[in-house]
Amino acid sequence: MSPRNRELESLARQQLFVMDLRRAAAPMAIAAHLGGNGDTQTPIVWRDAESELLVFPAATQVRFARGFVFVELRVASDQTGADALVMPFRIGSTPNEAVATAVSESAPRGNAVLASRWGDVATTITWHAILRAGQTLLARRKLAQPMSIAGVYTLGRVLSFLATTPVSAALVTRYFTETLGTDVVPDLAVLNRRYLGALPIRRTR
């Protein structure tokens, strides 16, 4: 194996293991982070400027499809009464495609008034809640070194979080400077597909 390939494999091996969140546990795991205090039974209030939205974490629903997570929130406002917002998140469908930044629709599905006023806020908070659910799984493990959630993907049955030892931008830049003679970093997705895909990933619950 060439020095360049050994260096790339070393970087790829930073991706250490996968943790699965089963669909039955996903609603409450995500709902616990919608309000920041871990309480899934008490309604919470989101405030934005002069507006307020009542959110019912206990009624959160979650569905998976290959490469997608659908989260339904039950909410209420003075103007609309009780209703629902549904947010589809396009994520990875394999470990090589695991992402930390999802793609979603321009506005949640559901009540048009709520979606227009609260769409950006609800989408952002819900995606962060998904990532924090993975961080909670990670926090339960006894780790020899600091790790973080590097990406999320689903084959359709469970939500899988890829845990990794953080690699600094300086380390990646140094590698490319020393190996290729340039500090211009190419598309790291290529590195993932080419090298991470060939490595065994330990799956844990």
Q: Each residue of 56-114: pLDDT tens digit?
A: 999 999 999 999 999 999 999 988 999 999 999 999 998 888 888 899 998 999 999 99
- What is the rounded distance in angstroms from the CA atom of residue 125 to the CA atom of residue 57? 12
This prediction has a pTM of: 0.76
Q: Each residue of 182-192: pLDDT tens digit?
A: 656 555 554 45
The identity of residue 142, as a single letter, is K
- What is the rounded distance in angstroms from the CA atom of residue 23 to the CA atom of residue 34? 17
Q: Which residue has the tokens 């947010």?
A: 87
Asked if the model's pLDDT at residue 195 lies above 50, the reply is: no
What is the DSSP code (8-state) at residue 78?
A: T
**Is the CB of residue 87 less than 8 Å from the CB of residue 74?**
no
First and final C-alpha spacing in the chain: 33
Weakest mean pLDDT among 30-44, 94-108, 171-185: 171-185
Residue 6, SS3 per DSSP: helix
Q: Measuring CA to CA, how many Å separate 185 from each of 15, 89, 166, 179, 199?
A: 19, 28, 17, 11, 22
